[in-house]
Amino acid sequence: MVAVGADRDGIEGLSRAARANVPTFVEKLGDYSTRAEWDEVISTRIAAYEPDLVVSAGFMKILGKPTLDAFPVLNTHPALLPSFPGAHGVRDALAHGAKVTGCTVMLADEGVDTGPIVAQEAVPVLPDDDEATLHERIKAVERRLLVDVVGRMVREGWTVSGRTVRIGK
Ligand SMILES: Nc1nc2c(c(=O)[nH]1)N[C@@H](CN(C=O)c1ccc(C(=O)N[C@@H](CCC(=O)O)C(=O)O)cc1)CN2
Ligand SMILES: NCC(=O)N[C@@H]1O[C@H](COP(=O)([O-])[O-])[C@@H](O)[C@H]1O
């Protein structure tokens, strides 16, 4: 892991990175007069670390073309896409009365959670679940799935053909 970036301060991921002597950066959208400026700055900050792969985990901003054109971006979403995309996937699945939800690891594109899917895992919705209990159960799966997928992608590489992502040669 070459760096950890965020769009706001006070993120546990930033603190954990600092404790591990991993470089960090914060770029707040509100510090820029246009979103296009922020998009460019985010891409420039990432480029300074020359990553092979950018991982979005709890990053709650849509990344613009400057970043997407420069790096592969892997995102983890707490629902089984294409169901329940967006910033509130857990709440929306619960409100819909879903009996099964889960998490999705996908390669981000210019849309919102529309990129090609790399991996998914189902998580049951229990009768007494609220958003917090369901989200915590999903996060436990996400953390394992994301680490597994990132490890395999960086070790084995990956190909994208249309909407099909294959890890390995
Ligand atoms: N280009 C992309 N960038 C990102 C994607 C993506 O699919 N394409 N996924 C997100 C993560 N995400 C869901 O997995 C997600 C996060 C945030 C939003 C959203 O509506 N954000 C608003 C602001 C919300 C806020 O500040 O509270 C926004 O960006 O204006 C939708 C989906 C990571 N980036
Ligand atoms: N649409 C993006 C989205 O909802 N991302 C979700 O934010 C959570 C962050 O958890 P954390 O704060 O415990 O790292 C994760 O469940 C991640 O999938």
80 and 162 within one domain: yes
What separation in Å is there between the alpha carbon of 38 and the centre of ligand 1? 14
Pick the residue whose CA is nearest to atom 20 on ligand 1: 87
* For ligand 1, mutation pick of 7, 28, 43, 61 (most atoms within 8 Å of CB): 61
pLDDT confidence of residue 122? 98
47 and 81 within one domain: no
157 and 95 within one domain: yes
pLDDT confidence of residue 85? 98
Q: Residue 169: pLDDT above 90?
A: no
Q: How far are the Cα atoms of 31, 138, 151 from residue 120, in angstroms, in the given order?
A: 35, 11, 16
What separation in Å is there between the alpha carbon of 91 and the centre of ligand 1? 15
* For ligand 2, mutation pick of 136, 139, 144, 146 (most atoms within 8 Å of CB): 139
Q: What is the pLDDT of residues 110-166, one digit of tens each?
A: 999 999 999 999 999 999 999 999 999 999 999 999 999 999 999 999 999 999 999
pLDDT confidence of residue 103? 98
Q: What is the pLDDT of residues 22-54, one digit of tens each?
A: 999 999 999 999 999 999 999 999 999 999 999
Q: What share of the chain is helix, strand, coil (3-state, %, to 5)?
A: 40, 20, 40
- Tell me if 58 is assigned to some domain: no
Interface confidence (ipTM) of the complex: 0.95
What separation in Å is there between the alpha carbon of 2 and the centre of ligand 1? 22
89 and 33 within one domain: no
Q: How many domains does the chain have?
A: 2
145 and 113 within one domain: yes
84 and 42 within one domain: no
117 and 83 within one domain: yes
Beta bridge partners of 119: 105
Residue 118 domain boundaries: 73-167
